[in-house]
A and B are shown apart, each in its own frame.
Chain A
Amino acid sequence: MSLWKRTLKLGLLGGLIAVYIALTGMPLSLSRRAVIGEFTLGHLTYLIVFAAFGYLRAAQMRKEKQASAPAILAHAAVTGLLSGLLLALLVLLGQRVDLGFIFISAKPQLYRLLTFQQANLTTGLVYLVAAGTVLGLLFALPHFLPKTFHKAVLSAVAITLVLGVFSELVQRTILKYALGSFFAYQGLKPMGALWLFVITFALSWVYFALRPYIQVQDKRSQQVLGNQPSPETRLLFTLALLAFLLVMPIVILQKDTYLLSVINLVGLYIIMGLGLNIVVGFAGLLDLGYVAFFAIGAYTVALLTSRGELGRGWDFWAALPLAILFALTAGVLLGIPVLRMRGDYLAIVTLGFGEIIRILANSDWLKPWMGGALGVLEIPKPTLFGYTLKEEYQLYYLILAGILITWLVAHRLYHSRLGRAWQAMREDEDVAEGTGIHLVTTKLLAFGFGAAFSGLSGAIFATKVGSVYPYSFNLLISINVLCLIIVGGMGSLPGVVVGAFALVGLPELLREFSEYRMLFYGVALIAMMLLRPEGFIPKKPTIYPRLLVRGASPVRAEGSKSKQ
């Protein structure tokens, strides 16, 4: 009986989550984005819960090996049914009582959506509960397939849904020549979805079936090379990646303005993330006012290059170094008063500094020089060898260059003496000082480098957007950058890129979603802390034999040890 008890528990939990999602209003506000035919992202938000809980229940029972296959299917179906029932109860309750009082999203439209727009309420409710049951059952089925099929089914479902949701990713890129016919104006055509599922299933199956063989080879090379790819592999990989990044906007993205503007925004966040990563990830100084340096970089370029009344009409390339320099100076200057502060105190003070900069820019007092709330307009685009970088795909290269430079600088810094000093300071300030680290300069250099990166990002932002306003530099940017570092993995450079795409890119592609951005961040952060507290791509400990006795590389030494 305890089996049924757990099914009940899980089903009700799923129901509660579905009810919660419904009451946040997500099903309604996302119902305008078609995924497959009439099936919208709104439906997906709660139907996926039924599927997930059916899948989970089956996974639990398979693992415990207590029940027969039909029993497992029954339990999974009941889990889905219970979840559906709870959501149906919400609809019923909503018919009697006006929940809109407390939950503003609990509107008749929501109930109509949940009951699949059926005129007859009972029919709709039956459909809803049936959907839960069927999905719960359906997603228990993969557990009875061989492992490769199981994985292939799941990834095919995921890929199909993701491409359905982000149909722009196909329709606006080179993929449209291959897959365009599967798609309607928005989302997938039902038949297209089916085909896409079949194709992705076949491809994933091949991938999962072949993977063991590929991995065996990997393992062998790992033994020879001692866990690290050989320098040749690395170089080849780097060159391939660079080539990809260079041709991507033109070949793959077809110079699409919308997608490239999203990527460029992500790129600006990557530069900022790389900078804040120095301050927070390397040196362990929690800085919440990071947007201030972004603002300083942006305003410097704006005021120096603008063709308007406030500007001086400089060239972008002349203003850029100054923007970086000003940001760096501001970083160091802010660092001085907070030298003795640690942890939360530091966070609060830097938070204040970020706000001060924004409020100053917004103030009437500085209006004659900085434009106040009206901002600075007419910022020209940069020119390079006679070309004006005005299209998004041209600016892409400017941002890419910025990322590559900051990446290289951050990478070199991390492995330098200074980088080591930052990390030691992050671990224990007193002890670090005891080993001879000059805390003042070490801290100020962290603030300075971080701020300089942010200034660079801000400078590019100003010329990309063409105008700057104080409200572009609110606290949210600092929070965004901090979150993307945490999600990506503190101190990890690839983590910054992943974090930026996940936390800035995704919500940007799903504009209707922006209302729920904070909810998404919260969920993402909690999930990360529970599942991968080190972040998506945790910083690996650096292993290198720099000081070991020459001639005896640790790789060889270890290899010989294992033979003994």
Chain B
Amino acid sequence: MAMLELHNVHAYYGHIHALKGISLTVEKGEIVTLIGANGAGKTSTLRVITMLLPPTEGQVRFEGEDLTQYPTHVIVRKGIAMVPEGRGIFARLTVMENLEMGAYTRTDKKAIEEDLERVFTLFPRLKERRRQLAGTLSGGEQQMLAIGRALMARPRLLLMDEPSMGLAPILVESIFETIQQINRQGTTILLVEQNAHMALQIAHRGYVLRTGEIVLQGTAQELQANEMVQKTYLGMA
């Protein structure tokens, strides 16, 4: 049984049909990436999984459990954490407070402290800056904070929305390395990216979305070799 399973999911923003029957699976231990242009429905798919955008039709199952019955704030307790698009850090809270908010639903103090240490090992910069207001961090540091905060929930599945957005190329590389590292430590990752090139390098499998539909799927190698993907998303002639 797949860890996450979306079956024929439809979702609307008002009258706009954003997702038109999305079906995808994420297996335990994988990095799966969703690639596609602006407005293809990548972010909407993540919003459906966290129930910020409840689907009108179709099923969303996580570890066999139907997620559609839960409101957003319960999803995190099920083991799914999200790194939101545009980082979505709490700007006027300190770095430390942001991280604590990540563990908001947890009560196991000892384990939280372990996770905090883990985040600080992963991102030593955050430890240096833990007393600083999050809004005063640089873009890269904010992205680290957003990832760190999501990890503080100790998720089994991590949803990441455009972690490379607005970052300098060198930072993008190090963020992607970190994503791989997190995955190796045992967290399954569903990664939404416009930077298909980087995403396919670290992902195991991928889906290509276009106007709310999945048009292509396969292993990362298959997608990298696909002519359409090369032309449209990897910018090769």
Q: A: which residues have CB within 8 A of B?
A: 417, 420-421, 423-424, 426-428, 430-439, 541-543, 546-549, 554
Contact = CB atoms under 8 A, between A and B. Distances in A.
Contacts of B104: 417, 420-421, 424, 435-437
B131 A541 contact: yes
Interface residues of B, number: 38
Given A437-B104, A543-B94, A431 B76 contact: no
B131 to A, nearest CB: 5
A424 B93 contact: yes
Given A423-B92, A547-B112, 6 more contacts: A426-B92, A427-B93, A437-B73, A438-B73, A546-B100, A547-B116
A421 B90 CA distance: 11
Closest 6 CB pairs of A and B: A436-B105, A427-B90, A431-B88, A436-B76, A433-B72, A436-B104
Nearest to A442: B73
A437 B105 CA distance: 8
Contacts of B72: 430, 433-434
Nearest to B51: A433
A486 to B, nearest CB: 15
A543 B94 CA distance: 8
Contacts of A432: 90, 101
**Which of A434, A435, A439 counts the most chain B CB atoms within 10 A?**
A434
Contacts, number: 93
B94 A541 contact: yes
Contacts of A421: 104
Nearest to B146: A431
Interface of B: 50, 52, 71-77, 81-82, 84, 88-94, 96-97, 99-102, 104-105, 109, 112-113, 116-117, 130-133, 149, 153
B116 A435 contact: no
Given A424-B90, A435-B153, A437-B104, A554 B131 contact: yes
Contact of B113 (A430, A541, A549): A549
Contacts of A542: 94, 97
Nearest to A433: B72
Nearest to B84: A431
B216 to A, nearest CB: 29
B192 to A, nearest CB: 15
B92 to A, nearest CB: 6
Contact of B153 (A420, A427, A436, A554): A436
A439 B72 CA distance: 9
Contacts of A424: 90, 93, 101, 104
Contacts of B101: 420, 424, 432, 435
